Amino acid sequence: MTPEYDEKRKMYVTPDGCHYDNDQEAQYFYTLGLCGCGNPDEVHEFLIDCAKCFDRGTLSGKDWGEATGIDGILTEVLNSPKVAAEFIAHFLDQRGLTEHGGSVYGSWLTEDGYDFINAGAMG
């Protein structure tokens, strides 16, 4: 997704009609659907680093190249555990399992969150 630039408003516009100050914000908020509370800059950088773990240098996916995959992500999580935890909190919120007021750090379970927990583990 490449947001359009609105010359009149001097902002980037995503397909849903939201306006952002720069392309990076548009990519983060539109593509991931996460809110802007907490430390979105750190979470965004963390997710870029995680995505790079799957960069094989080709779109075909047939050449592993220098990709580190899951092992690379594990390294990112171990290097930035608080940021990884914040991303998980944002993910749970985005999926409707939690909600929050002023900050994702103070989230609480929704009815769907309780249903998810009560369903138990798959295995």
Q: Which two tokens stand for residue 81?
A: 């555990």
pTM of the model: 0.83
In 3-state terms, what secondary structure has residue 23? helix
Condensed to tens digits (0 to 9), the pLDDT of residues 54-89 reads: 887 766 555 666 678 899 999 999 999 999 999 999
pLDDT in tens, 3-50: 889 999 999 999 988 899 998 999 889 989 888 899 999 999 999 999
